[in-house]
Structure 1
Amino acid sequence: MPKAEVYPFLYERKGVRFNDGKISDIRSFAGKKIINVIANGFTFKINVDKNQTDLSYLRDYSKNDQVRLRFVHEVKTGAKSYAINDWISISKNVRTYGVINKKLFNKFYGENDDQKISLIKPANTIVQPKVVSFKKLTYNGKRKQSYFERIVMTIYGGELEAEYAEMDQKEGLIRAKNAVFTDKAGNVINGKEMIFELKKGTYYTNLKPPVAKESNLTLKNPNESRIEFSARDSVKMGKDKLVMYLYGKAKIRYENINIVADEIVYNNKTLAGTARNPILTDEKSKISTSGSFLKFDLKGKTEVWQK
């Protein structure tokens, strides 16, 4: 299998970049802080000054904290390093914004943010969608509507993956739920709901992940043993179709091992991955262990805990 490409960050609404990493260093100066974060093997130097936020809001942030960064206008300073002056938010919880930059935050987010809709026009010409794969298809010939589960399709020169999708040939619409769209330029955009207007060449997306109910899916790994997983906020599949991203009360079960965490990332082929703020339970021995960060290998039944 080809090695999966690692990206320094992904995209939210209006070109906002985001990633998850660990604080490697914090330094304070007169009216300023410099926070260094390592994410996906890349180093980000965030310059924070008192005109952007009250620096006291950052007093609870320290070295080795796991954080989510949101920012724009990054400057590449090396092969794997960036400088960030226009940061938008720094948060320890992926479901909140944490400390915000008051000069920029309202340009991209606002009150009732979960109801905001973005209109994005793709730069390339319209390309008729092509279905690559799906788990289940139901077709209504009278209405000329197709209903898909676990679908992958190419559209607008990019690739769409969704848990559910409805294709209306008569209206020229595609409605996708719990979707991830990678456009022609490689930008990754995800949303609870996405609507593609094929006649106009536009698409709308609600970028806030679902919180109403859990997504429950079951896959089989190559050795045919069942692995079960669920997440309250979102369940996403990587471009390589192997790496799974579980956010918000994430759960994974394999044989007698149960892991519950704020966030779980794992490879469905190797059954190795990481978990943030996890509780691991061995049902056979009835022993539970908890910590802030876990590296696990379910096939080899090994685990490495980190503070």
Structure 2
Amino acid sequence: MADQVFISLGPDRAELFRWSTDRLVQATTEREGEGGPAGGIHLGRVVKLDRTLNAAFVEIGLARPGLLPLKKHDSLSEGDAIAVQVRRDSREDKGVRLARFNAKPNLLADKHPPALLIPPPMLWQTALRALVPERVDAIHCDRRGDGEKIIATAPELAKKVQHTPRRNWEMNDAAANEEIAAALQEEVPLSSGGSLLFEPVRTLCAIDVNSGDAGARRGEGGGINETALAVNLAAAREIPIQLALRNIGGVIVIDFIDIEHRGKRDQVVEALREAVIVDPAIDWVGNMSRLGLVELKRRRSGPTLAEMWLKRTQG
């Protein structure tokens, strides 16, 4: 089923909601200037070279210098001015990750480092550019003037843009708020009777698949447990939706219910790989171990859903 995207670029807040069939799979909300530095282009100054890391630390006007990986025979020196783009936001005690940017001379004219050359995109712009055009059925914009901004951001989606006032959105605010409220909870019930438990920590996110009242218990049944398989398959179809909506990135470890039969384990992994089509940010899905563990990797992009909605509720 193709996606329906709803965008409102109001004067106070820009919001995007992406629905796949009848499920909300992505939501962003942001005030102008509220977002992180990722995507921004700066004229920076090299403040330190670290040959052991083969990297330069570049001052771009943030709380701490950004890290710029160097090429093998790079001729940069401390004090040099250099145009860079922020490729990754800061994390815990680490600064932003940078990449070189080939800036045109007119962009650099009369600029002295550190200086912002091009502001970072807003969350709705980043989300829009990441979409697969073939999977988008329509993009509904709240105001007629919003269409021009949307087309300028993603020209390849121009034919999908149409004006639909927010009050007439088929998937309205009430429906979106209900889905978001559910996604802000740690536990997610499954149609099979089991549940998912999301436990993000600093280095990864663990997802535990529980049998719950489905009656699937580890070690019970003395062999292939068809109920356990049903819960695992339901979990495999639900997890990519939850990761996309919650915007959880990095390494994800899924603890499925143990299944001894290798063919059944492969069936669960195949269902997971088919389901990740809903989320273009998922880069890789591993195999299932004998303990029922599956690793996957999802690109980090902006704040989590919980972080965005916390800012929203705080005004």
Structure with max Cα Rg: 2
Q: Which has the higher contact order (CA 8 A, sep 6+)?
A: 2
TM-score when normalising by structure 2:
0.23
Q: Which has the higher strand share?
A: 1
Give 1 or 2: higher helix fraction. 2
Length-normalised TM-score, structure 1: 0.24
